[in-house]
Amino acid sequence: MNDLEPASKTPYLNQSGQYVEPKTNWLSRKSLTLFITLLGTLVFFVVSWRLSEVDPIRLIEGLPRLFRWASKAWPPQTNEIGIMFYRAAETVAIATVATTLATLIAFPLSILVSKNITPYPLIGLPFRLAINTFRGVDTVVFSLLFVAAVGLGPFAGVLGMLIHSVGVIAKLNSEAIETIPSAPLDATAMTGAKKSSVIVWGLIPSVFPNLSSVSLYVWEANVRTSTILGIVGAGGIGIEIKAAIDLLDFSRLFTLTAIVLLMVTIIDQISAHIRGKLV
């Protein structure tokens, strides 16, 4: 490079008045780091592909069998439509009760683990560990454990979903609280208000729309998750779906699937409408 040409990482003017792109140093630390990262990502994907036993040939060979089974789903079964809709209502009830209770429990926990607002920083550490544990274990696993404790039925599903939802909502709430501007909290504190008053009058108004949106999103997700809780005997329409699959009753399975799609669509629309009003 000519001495008159600046050593820059951005385009520059040469002596002829033309813009020149700087040369890339492929042996630089940044380039080597990028290359190693891309190579590691590719290796990870290839290993994951092998472990997943992905085989497109098997899919192509199995499609005719899939189409034969799908053809048996018509006409849909409607002779027990009342029971199916009852199970669908049970599914929505499980998600609604679990999400509501989880929201009430998660809010004080999210304050305890939020680094910018917690009145007890040391106490927040074990609660943060508990929240990560609740969030890391799936609802189905918790529900299976509660089936052993309280027996079959939707109550076990509510308990399992409640524990997992507490972890998810508390985690998302704490992240939202940690990103709020400090001005409203400082203004409230400058009036001589106690910590509890700062939370009530400074924190909650600032984060309420976001916290409400989090709970609504979790409610939507819980409705979808609760459709499979019947697999472990925790109530909901999943019980009927599992029975239809075990019996290869495809016409009944088609009806149940249509009900699930209808239910999830309605819940999504209701949740989106409420979020639109809050934000």
Is the model's pLDDT at 8 over the cut of 60? no
Q: Given pLDDT bands bounded at 50, 70 and 90, which one contains residue 42?
A: very high
Q: Which domain holds residue 38?
A: 22-70
* 119 and 249 assigned to the same domain: yes
Beta bridge partners of 20: 12
Is the model's pLDDT at 182 over the cut of 70? no
Residue 75, domain member (yes or no): no
Residue 6, domain member (yes or no): no
pLDDT tens profile 203-234: 666 667 777 788 888 888 888 888 877 777 77
* CATH number of the domain enclosing 225: 1.10.3720.10
pLDDT, residue 19, reads 62
Q: What percent of the chain has pLDDT over 70?
A: 76
Question: Contact, 157 vs 235, CB < 8 A?
Answer: yes
* 177 and 226 assigned to the same domain: yes
Q: Report the alpha-carbon distance of residue 237 to residue 257 in Å, rounded.
A: 10
First to last CA, the chain: 55
Residue 248 three-state SS:
coil
* 229 and 105 assigned to the same domain: yes
* 163 and 273 assigned to the same domain: yes
Token pair for residue 89?
């209502």
* 55 and 120 assigned to the same domain: no
Question: Helix crossing, 81-113 with 204-226: angle to 10°?
Answer: 140
Beta strands (DSSP E) in the chain are 12-13, 19-20
* 93 and 61 assigned to the same domain: no
* 52 and 123 assigned to the same domain: no
* 137 and 249 assigned to the same domain: yes
Structural domain total, the chain: 2
Residue 130, domain member (yes or no): yes
Residue 4, domain member (yes or no): no
* 51 and 85 assigned to the same domain: no
* 109 and 36 assigned to the same domain: no
Which secondary-structure segment (H or E) carries 158? helix 154-178
Q: Given pLDDT bands bounded at 50, 70 and 90, which one contains residue 195?
A: low
* 140 and 231 assigned to the same domain: yes
106: how many CB neighbours lie within 10 A of its CB? 27
Q: What is the pTM of this model?
A: 0.70
* 226 and 168 assigned to the same domain: yes
